[in-house]
Homo-oligomer: A and B are copies of this chain.
């Protein structure tokens, strides 16, 4: 009874957020095409009609779930309050790898949809990558960048954006098959690669 009255008191926004959370959870072990309104209706124990009320149509439903998943990724990998830049980087990378591990199928299918030509999925995917890499510069600030030995130039920004593709490729390959590489060693190598490619970034003359 308590549960029911709690549900009744929940605002439409809260209810929608709760349904999205459920949808993102389904995405962990399913690809985007498998996370349908029908499935969510069963999982949430509510009618399809009500879900359409919240999400409009299938396309908007998928976009809303992916947007929420991307927000989760950006939030979970946010820089932590640790004194050393290296440690902060390792914590964020640890959480990124954890996110890919926990949401492997959904992550791969989002990437697929983004590269596959769905403009909104691309916008969400590319926006996440942009946010994750720009944040390295914004959160570190001049002192943090100096600590890492990273300059903030157009060439370094290009290299760091490309490093995100590097990290994603390496992490997806590692999650598929760790091939004897320890998790901590992977994290350290990703952080090392970031500093290394920043060091070899092209100059802007």
Contacts and interface: CB of A to CB of B under 8 A. Distances in A.
B169 A181 contact: no
Interface in A153-205: 154-155, 158-159, 161-170, 173-174, 179-182, 185-186, 188-189, 192-193, 195-197, 199-205
Interface residues of A, number: 43
A145 to B, nearest CB: 18
A116 interface: yes
A115 B158 CA distance: 22
A111 interface: yes
Tallying the copies of this chain within the complex gives 2
A159 B202 contact: no
A117 interface: yes
A200 B125 CA distance: 27
A48 interface: no
Nearest to A181: B202
Contacts of A182: 202, 205
Contacts of A185: 155, 202-203, 205
B170 A162 contact: yes
Contact of A159 (B114, B155, B189, B204): B189
Interface of A: 111-117, 154-155, 158-159, 161-170, 173-174, 179-182, 185-186, 188-189, 192-193, 195-197, 199-205
